[in-house]
């Protein structure tokens, strides 16, 4: 299937300098000491951010199984149960207007730091709640803090990672959601043996764990080089790129090309950017990005995942599995399976184009939901162990189908889709639509299940059919390019050509200056010069 308009791959165009240099780098990341350390620190500070969301979804899912939680909050049903679950997303929606200004003004790290403290406070309040109202406020606080971390963390990781590993790193960002959900499922399963209110208060308090890691480690990693360049701190940005992308080699041809490309692209972006929300709909290219990002937010929450994440207990009740121990075992198994499939798929994202993965995701989700709907109807109509087993099978099949696109690619695609100047705003728009969709579905799911039982699943089947059509006609291909090469994905081709020429001109000026300097014959630079001649002319020079 050929990519639609806005493709990042043009078979007739020459490979940009930086892409060619990345393709010629065959040294794996684990053999680069500084890059290895950077990725190790990104694990608790950025990649681990989604663990908080995963922990929350499973904690609110599994505490419903606790008799003490049900007793303390007087067995909430319908709208009350919906608002308890949905308060997390409501808090996130209310935070969104403040996220992009904070991230763009003070940097990615400070946004993560502040958001983490808000979530720690929310976890403590949640653990010591004395009423349903206080519990809802605590969950609102948790939701209010998470967008600061997610938007800044996904941007920072994409902007710090070496181009070759960037797709994997940003894909693992979402995959670690299931680490949090698995830990929460395991903790809540273990605390069921506590014969008092601490059976549900303990997991609530431990929800602060991932945020504490971010608070402790966030200032051990560097700030985004792109953010530094946008604040006229190019020297600091250059030092970061030299240390982590060139292992301390200032003569690296790659670093000089990367620095020239980033500076040139950001300069062009700033010339055409008004640095306001109006610019998000000011040009046809930006409007296309906003439409795609908005619908991607809806798709990540309206594809039936919130039904499983928040209400697996109710789903199992419908098919006759009411024992707490059985529910907990299935829930832990589901989360372990989710983590395995998410990580495996994230490690494979460099092998397949984005559109292929998204279309595989939407088609398989539709097939899975149709099969699940039929099995649920048969289970409720006729009973029997076979129908129950098939229904549970579809619960497990759903995970890899969803993870192929909406888990593995979400932040990879968003970071590639939006240029630096609009990246935080673009992910904020995605978060707004995603959180709004999540708020709606978590609120109405228990009402729908209580009212029309298995027929509620038909609404998701209809929506998933629409997703297939939208992804096919609207999603552009972004595979195989650096962030700067994708900056003008929908814009006039001349802007992309202008950016490429600036990089080549910068490299040529530097080569000329080096040729007249007394240190021209330095061994390291001789290698860099040959490498540059190779990549700029696209032919091999021995």
- Give per-residue pLDDT as tens, 82-95: 788 788 888 988 99
Asked whether the predicted pLDDT for residue 530 surpasses 60, the reply is: no
What is the rounded average pLDDT of the residues 446-467? 89
Q: Mean pLDDT throughout 271-296? A: 82
Q: Is the pLDDT of residue 303 over 70?
A: yes
pLDDT in the model for residue 484: 67
**Residue-level pLDDT at 508:** 55
**pLDDT value at position 7?**
45
What would the mean pLDDT of 30-48 be, rounded to a whole number? 90
CB 10 within 8 A of CB 480: no
| 312 in Cβ contact with 447 (< 8 Å) | no
* pLDDT mean over 29-47: 90
Q: Place 539 in a pLDDT band, splitting at 50, 70 and 90.
A: very low
pLDDT above 50 for 475: yes
Higher pLDDT, 356 or 332: 356
User: Is residue 126 very low, low, confident or very high in pLDDT (cuts 50, 70, 90)?
Assistant: very high
The proportion of the chain whose per-residue pLDDT surpasses 70, expressed as a percent, equals 85
47: left (phi over 0), alpha (psi -120 to 50) or beta: alpha
Q: Is 142 in contact with 56 (CB distance < 8 Å)?
A: yes
Least Cα distance to 329 among 379, 385, 392, 371 occurs for: 392
User: How many angstroms separate the CA atoms of 334 and 189, rounded?
Assistant: 13
* pLDDT tens, position by position, 195-252: 888 988 998 899 898 899 999 999 999 999 989 998 889 999 999 999 999 999 988 8
Q: Which helix (H) or strand (E) holds 346?
A: helix 324-346
Handedness of CA 282, 287, 289, 293 (dihedral sign): positive
C-alpha 514/C-alpha 536 separation (Å) is 16
Q: How many CB atoms lie within 10 A of CB 455?
A: 13
Q: pLDDT grade, residue 370 (50/70/90)?
A: very high
Nearest residue to 304 via CA among 389, 375, 356, 366? 366
Query: Average of pLDDT values for 413-426?
Result: 85
User: What's the CA gap between 63 and 132, in Å, rounded?
Assistant: 14
Q: Which residues contact 421 (CB under 8 A, 6 or more apart)?
A: 230, 266, 269, 270, 273, 275
What pLDDT band is residue 253 in, cutting at 50, 70 and 90?
confident
pLDDT band of 400, cuts 50, 70, 90: very high
Q: What is the mean pLDDT of residues 352-372?
A: 94
Residues ≥6 apart with Cβ < 8 Å to 10: none
- The pLDDT score that the predictor gives to residue 497 is 58
Q: In which band, very low, low, confident or very high, does the pLDDT at 276 lie, cut at 50, 70 and 90?
A: confident
CA–CA separation, 508 and 253 (whole Å): 11
| Maximum C-alpha span of the chain | 87
Structural domains of the chain, ranges and CATH numbers in brackets: 32-221 (1.20.1250.20), 282-498 (1.20.1250.20)
Q: Where residue 115 falls among pLDDT bands split at 50, 70, 90?
A: very high
Mean residue pLDDT of the chain comes to 81
Do the beta carbons of residue 92 and residue 431 sit within 8 Å?
yes
């Amino acid at each position: 299937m050929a990519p639609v308009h806005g493709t990042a791959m043009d078979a007739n165009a020459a490979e940009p300098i930086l892409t060619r240099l990345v393709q010629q780098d065959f040294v794996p990341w684990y053999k680069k000491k500084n890059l290895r350390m950077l990725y190790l620190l990104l694990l608790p500070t950025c990649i681990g951010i989604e663990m908080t969301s995963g922990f929350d979804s499973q904690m609110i899912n599994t505490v419903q199984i606790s008799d003490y939680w049900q007793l303390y909050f007087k067995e909430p049903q319908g709208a009350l149960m919906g608002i308890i679950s949905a308060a997390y997303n409501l808090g996130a929606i209310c935070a969104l207007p403040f996220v992009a200004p904070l991230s763009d003004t003070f940097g990615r790290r400070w946004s993560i730091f502040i958001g983490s403290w808000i979530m720690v406070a929310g976890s403590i309040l949640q653990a010591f709640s004395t009423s349903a109202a206080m519990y809802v406020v605590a969950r609102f606080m948790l939701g209010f803090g998470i967008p600061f971390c997610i938007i800044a963390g996904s941007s920072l990781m994409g902007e710090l990672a070496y181009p070759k590993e960037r797709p994997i790193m940003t894909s693992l960002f979402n995959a670690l959601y299931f680490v949090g959900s698995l830990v929460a499922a395991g903790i809540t399963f273990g605390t069921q043996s506590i014969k008092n209110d601490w059976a549900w208060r303990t997991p609530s308090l431990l929800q602060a764990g991932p945020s504490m890691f971010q608070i402790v480690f966030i200032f051990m990693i560097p700030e985004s080089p792109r953010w530094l360049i946008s604040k006229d701190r190019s020297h600091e940005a250059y030092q970061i790129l030299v240390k982590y992308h060139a292992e301390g080699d200032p003569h690296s041809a790659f670093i000089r090309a990367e620095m020239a490309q980033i500076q040139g692209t950001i300069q062009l972006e700033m010339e055409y950017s008004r640095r306001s929300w109006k610019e998000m709909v000011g040009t046809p290219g930006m409007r296309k990005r906003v439409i795609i990002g908005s619908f991607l937010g809806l798709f990540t929450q309206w594809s039936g995942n919130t039904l499983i994440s928040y209400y697996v207990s109710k789903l199992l009740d419908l098919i006759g599995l009411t024992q707490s121990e059985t529910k907990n075992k299935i829930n832990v198994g589901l989360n372990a399976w989710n983590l395995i499939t998410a990580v495996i798929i994230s490690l494979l994202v460099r092998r397949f184009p984005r559109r292929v993965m998204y279309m595989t995701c939407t088609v398989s989700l539709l097939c899975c939901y149709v099969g699940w709907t039929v099995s649920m109807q048969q289970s409720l109509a006729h009973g029997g162990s076979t129908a129950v087993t098939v229904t549970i099978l579809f619960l497990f099949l759903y995970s890899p189908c969803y993870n192929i696109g909406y888990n593995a690619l979400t932040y990879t695609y968003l970071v590639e889709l939006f240029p630096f100047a609009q990246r935080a705003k673009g992910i904020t728009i995605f978060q707004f639509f995603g959180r709004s969709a999540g708020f709606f579905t978590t609120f109405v799911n228990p009402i729908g299940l209580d009212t029309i039982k298995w027929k509620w699943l038909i609404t998701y089947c209809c929506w998933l059919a629409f997703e297939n059509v939208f992804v096919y006609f609207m999603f552009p291909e972004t595979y195989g390019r650096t962030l700067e090469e994708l900056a003008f994905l929908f814009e006039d081709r001349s802007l992309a050509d202008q950016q490429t020429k600036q990089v080549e001109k910068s490299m040529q000026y530097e080569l000329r200056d080096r040729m007249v300097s007394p240190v021209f014959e330095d061994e390291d630079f001789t290698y860099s010069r040959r490498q540059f001649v190779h990549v700029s002319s696209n032919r091999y020079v021995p």
